[in-house]
Structure 1
Amino acid sequence: MQARSVAGEAARNLVTGTTRALWWALAFVVLVGGLAVADARVLVRVWQDADAFRSAGAAVQTLASEREQVVDGTRCQALSGVAGLTGAGALRPGAPVRAASMPSSDLTVWEVTPGVLDLLTTTARPVRTATGTTTGGLWLADDLAAALGASAGDELVIDDGRVRVAGVYTWPDDGRDRVLAYAAVVAVPATGTFERCWAGAWPVDDDAAGLLYSATSPGADDLRLGQLNSTRGSGYDLSGLVDARPTAVAPAAAAAVGLVLGYLAVRTRRLELASALHARVPKPFLTWQHLLEAGCWLAAALSVTAAATGVAALVGSPGPYLGTWATAGMAAGTGAAATLIGTLVGVLTTREKHLFRYFKER
């Protein structure tokens, strides 16, 4: 028999409903697609927890000396280029200033190198940023900005003139060090000595955090290494949590489900198959026919599953969309491959000599 005959028979079975394509496709979407969507949502939850960990400043390692300024600003800032660290910068207390709109108290000022402003964008969630670079002007904590009635881009009148408000950042009371709460931050060149050195390490690496000691002066003592926020634990093993997620078995489970679906899709038509074999239809013809039929309804089911998994991987996810979608989509891929294998097994295990038994069991 020719390939055109095989394709024609498969098309007729699909059109007439003999294949029951709609029902098998629906079963695939519900069972295998459900596993893929569930895996996507678990992965999104892992990314959300990781984002909350970083947003709280728990991934920022700190080195501080309360007695004197022993941190070399240049060396601390240079840690930004070290593998394992996502950014680094130094801080030191600046001269307090007094704003005209709050003349009764001085404003706490911290001088920071540009790397600290980069860390603020990932841990302090800037709520308003003036147009331009992060250099020049003051960054205000949101509570202080509200008290001063100032917004990003405004000019603030202080005791020695006017200064531009470069941005406003949030500094919630979530367990993080309160050093930048209700404070003004100004960027300065990374020259001279500072009191503190901060560095973001993601994924969290205790060994990378130890590099902060290289930014201090020789013989410096009374140094404290810690986290900006220790309330969320000392580490976050992102890769370990992804590997240990409860839906990590979704591809294997989807393969088992697909194998059963493909086998059942053929076994429910075993009388038809045995009759065709009795009529001297070659088994290779029947094998390719059923594979084509299964491939058609699988293509439709995979399209719906891929779309649903894509939506599940996108909604509320702060992590990499394509990576989440591809990882969760492995369940759909293995399920589809197993369905074709199940179809093949179903055809190959159907025997012409069992025709009478199939007839009695119908």
Structure 2
Amino acid sequence: MRFREILREAFRNVYSGSSRQLWFMFFLSGMLGALVFFDGESQRGVVIRTHSFLDSGAATFVLEATGQIRGDVCDGLDRTPGIVAAGAVSQAMSPVRLSSLPATSVPTYDGSPGFTRMLTGQNALDSGILASAELLAEQARPVGAALHTNAGRVRIAGTYAYPNDGRRTGFEYSIVVPERANRQFDQCWVTTWPFDPAVARLTNLALTSSIGEQEKEAPVFGQLNSSLGSDFIGLEEYRSRPSRFAPVMALTVGAILGAVAIGLRRLSLASARHLGVRATDLSAITFMESFAVVVPAALAIAPLALWQTRQLMWEDAVPVLLHSAVIVLAGSLGFQGAVQAAIVNVSDHTLLKSFRSRV
């Protein structure tokens, strides 16, 4: 048969409903959609828990040693594999007093460039200070405005959120003054990812040896926020999630539906072979007909897969979408493969057997 005739025959079978493509499309899309939903929700849950862990400061560790932290060494730790951010901070000698509240001093800190990056996520800041979101909300000042203090007018170069979610206190209502890194600080903060407290211990490299042993305070090391636990098992949760076998299940479901689709048409297909239709032509026709199942099924599942990536950042949404695509592809290949495998067993010699099974 010519290619045009193969297309015409496949279209006629789909249009007439004799190949039952609509029913199999509903079955395949329903079963694959359930697997996509199950796996997508499992992955989305792990992603949300991961960001909650990171955003809470649970992956950030603090080495505290008053006057013993070298700012340049601490800032340079962010170039170490496993450390994504690092910065040094210390309490300022002179706290800031606002003109609107002259009797109250605002906790003031000196922060290295790395520390200001940790707070704001910006690589460079204009001249000025950093003010916490709570302070700016109380003073009704936006970023770029000026604060009237006991030292005169100071420009607000940026702001940072520091919620009261279990992390160590002191920065909720405060001011951070950017300082150069080539000085001594009181604390070195590092954020590790993947989560690894052992890597965070590299903060010890920032300790100075210029202070006499008798004058040194014992360094204190700990999590910025320990309310979510001292360990993160998100990677283990991801690797052990029940839905990790979804592609295999999709392949199996697709293969079963493909075999059933040919089994229900075995008599008509055997009749076609008896009338002289070549096996390759019959295989090509059923291959085209199968596209009327797998393509609409994939298009029907696509909105579900996209909906599952709601509230996820693009870099987190892409792996979820790729896993969904793998599930749909596995189901489609299973359906097509089973159809073609079943067609091989259809011949004019099976006509009588297929007829007797229908009687």
Q: TM-score, normalised by structure 2?
A: 0.91
Corresponding residue to 1:189 among 160, 180, 184: 180
Q: Tell me what 1:92 maps to.
A: 90
Residue 204 of structure 2 corresponds to residue 208 of structure 1: no
Shift of residue 224, structure 1, vs aligned partner: 1.5
- The superposition leaves residues 38-66 of structure 1 with CA deviations (integer Å, 9 ceiling, x where unpaired) of 3222212211111111110111111112x
Partners of 2:337 and 2:120 in 1: CA distance: 50
Q: Tell me what 1:223 maps to.
A: 219
Q: Tell me what 1:179 maps to.
A: 170
Contact 1:175 1:231 (C-alpha < 8 Å) held by counterparts = yes
Q: How does 1:44-55 map to 2 (within 5 A)?
A: 44-55=44-55
Instruction: Give SS of 1:320's match.
Output: helix
Corresponding residue to 1:316 among 311, 315, 320: 311
Give the superposed CA RMSD. Answer: 2.1
Partners of 1:103 and 1:261 in 2: CA distance: 77
Q: Tell me what 1:125 maps to.
A: none
Do the aligned partners of residues 307 and 143 (structure 1) sit closer, same or farther apart at CA in structure 2, a change above 3 Å counting? closer
Residue 116 of structure 2 corresponds to residue 121 of structure 1: no
Contact 2:62 2:221 (C-alpha < 8 Å) held by counterparts = yes
* Alignment-mate amino acid for residue 272 of structure 2: A
Contact 1:92 1:111 (C-alpha < 8 Å) held by counterparts = yes
* Alignment-mate amino acid for residue 152 of structure 1: V
* Alignment-mate amino acid for residue 74 of structure 1: D
Partners of 2:127 and 2:52 in 1: CA distance: 29
Instruction: Give SS of 1:70's match.
Output: strand
Shift of residue 222, structure 1, vs aligned partner: 0.8
Shift of residue 142, structure 1, vs aligned partner: 2.6
Partners of 1:135 and 1:190 in 2: CA distance: 17
Instruction: Give SS of 1:285's match.
Output: helix
Shift of residue 214, structure 1, vs aligned partner: 0.5
Q: Which runs of 5+ in 1 are unaligned?
A: 123-128
Partners of 1:353 and 1:253 in 2: CA distance: 34
Q: Which runs of 5+ in 2 are unaligned?
A: none
Q: Tell me what 2:133 maps to.
A: 142
Residue 255 of structure 2 corresponds to residue 259 of structure 1: yes
Partners of 1:361 and 1:134 in 2: CA distance: 80
Aligned-residue sequence identity (percent) comes to 28
Tell me how many residue pairs correspond in the alignment.
351
Q: Tell me what 1:103 maps to.
A: 102
Residue 68 of structure 2 corresponds to residue 73 of structure 1: no
Shift of residue 172, structure 1, vs aligned partner: 1.6
Instruction: Give SS of 1:87's match.
Output: strand
Instruction: Give SS of 1:19's match.
Output: coil
Partners of 1:44 and 1:77 in 2: CA distance: 33
* Alignment-mate amino acid for residue 330 of structure 1: V
Instruction: Give SS of 2:153's match.
Output: strand
Q: TM-score, normalised by structure 1?
A: 0.90
